[in-house]
């Protein structure tokens, strides 16, 4: 596996692959990689001969008072993990490569509508940062395929929207969330949990699963299920940002006949902001 910092060097290598008719998949990450990222690489490999993984802690998607400074930077360990899972290139651009004119003068890619609620409401500007950096990574790498995790459900929808709206010739693949044995979604931010909080954290997934089961069995009292779920998580110690049942395709309010639903939730447990979802196809 090659570790490449320069955009020119990466593009030269990709051009050589293209001469051999090889396709490229991109897995954008912010590093501190875990098994979930390993799975994204495996899935990328199923769709392309070459896999590029980017590690870049993108400053523009962190709000004031968020964890940009303390976000774990673990490049040596990430490099070992990526070698192990068989990525072809680890791309580690610096700020000047991603934002040649600086963050403050950067062209911003912004998706309306879909970004207004949920994580977009709690973290103003967050999705502008995500779409802006992902568009830049897409422009640098020009992959045929890009893989994102389902854990960040709203994020993958927003990226799909952007890709389609800008007619980018990139197939977006959403990979199922990889979980710990007790159901907790794997996340770099789980490292912020204390031992006690770690025992409570799987409750988030349990509550979403319970609501998923009720939906499957025909319960359509959405507001009641949302409130009961929020109460249960609140009682367990979560400071919930939201828990909502929505249409899976666009996060709008579902009606009783909707058969493609997602139950999404995010909230803080101590210092860690946890996020998870369950998709329910009835």
> Interface residues for ligand PAF in 143-172 (CB under 6 A)?
152, 155
- Shortest CB 256 distance to ligand PAF, Å: 33
Query: Which residues make beta-bridge pairs with 277?
Result: 264
Work out which of 58, 150, 154, 163 binds ligand PAF, going by CB under 6 A: 58
Helix (H, G, I), strand (E, B) or coil at 238: coil
Please, are residues 213 and 57 in contact by the beta-carbon 8 Å criterion? no
Structure tokens at 218: 């025909």
Q: Indicate the helix (H) or strand (E) that contains 138.
A: helix 126-141
From the centroid of its chain, how far is CA 151? Answer: 6
Nearer to ligand PAF, 134 or 215 (CB): 134
> Could you please report the per-residue DSSP string of 62-128?
--TTSSTTTS---HHHHHHHHHHHT-SEEE---HHHH-TT-GGG-------STTSSTHHHHSTTHHH
Query: Residue count at the site for ligand PAF (CB under 6 A)?
Result: 10
Segment interacting with ligand PAF (CB under 6 A) among 23-31, 167-175, 201-209, 269-277: 23-31
32 forms part of the interface with ligand PAF (CB under 6 A):
no
120 forms part of the interface with ligand PAF (CB under 6 A):
no
Catalytic member of 37, 47, 103, 126: 37
Return the DSSP state at 46: H
- Shortest CB 55 distance to ligand PAF, Å: 9
133 forms part of the interface with ligand PAF (CB under 6 A):
yes
Residue with tokens 């579902």: 254
- Shortest CB 232 distance to ligand PAF, Å: 27
What percentage of the chain's residues is helix, strand, coil (to nearest 5)?
45, 20, 35
Nearer to ligand PAF, 36 or 254 (CB): 36
Work out which of 134, 245, 258, 262 binds ligand PAF, going by CB under 6 A: 134
- Shortest CB 92 distance to ligand PAF, Å: 13
Is 103 catalytic? The answer is no
Structure tokens at 266: 């995010």
Which residues make up the interface to ligand PAF (CB under 6 A)? Answer: 28-30, 58, 61, 130, 133-134, 152, 155
Active-site annotation, residues: 37
């Amino acid at each position: 596996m090659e570790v490449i910092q320069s955009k020119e060097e990466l593009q030269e290598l990709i051009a050589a692959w293209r001469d051999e008719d090889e396709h490229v998949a991109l897995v954008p990450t912010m590093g501190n990689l875990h098994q979930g990222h390993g799975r994204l690489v495996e899935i990328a490999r199923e769709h392309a001969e070459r896999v590029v993984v980017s590690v870049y802690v993108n400053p523009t998607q962190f709000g004031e008072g968020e964890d940009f400074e303390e976000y774990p930077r673990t490049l040596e360990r990430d490099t070992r993990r990526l070698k192990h899972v068989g990525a072809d290139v680890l791309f580690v651009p610096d700020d000047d490569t991603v934002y040649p004119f600086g963050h403050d003068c950067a062209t911003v890619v912004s998706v309306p509508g879909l970004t207004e609620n949920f994580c977009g409401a709690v973290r103003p500007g967050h999705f502008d940062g995500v779409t802006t950096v992902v568009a830049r990574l897409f422009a640098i790498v020009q992959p045929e395929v890009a893989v994102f995790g389902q854990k960040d459900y709203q994020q993958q929808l927003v990226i799909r929207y952007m890709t389609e709206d800008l007619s980018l010739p990139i197939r977006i693949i959403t990979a199922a969330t990889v979980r710990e044995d007790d159901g907790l979604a794997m996340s770099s931010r789980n490292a912020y949990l204390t031992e006690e909080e770690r025992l409570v954290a799987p409750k988030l997934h349990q509550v979403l699963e319970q609501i998923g089961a009720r939906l499957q069995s025909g319960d359509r009292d959405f507001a009641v299920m949302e409130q009961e779920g929020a109460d249960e998580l609140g009682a367990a110690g979560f400071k919930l940002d939201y828990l909502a049942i929505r249409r899976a395709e666009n996060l709008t309010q579902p009606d009783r006949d909707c058969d493609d639903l997602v139950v999404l939730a995010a909230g803080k447990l101590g210092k860690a902001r946890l996020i998870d979802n369950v998709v329910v196809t009835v």
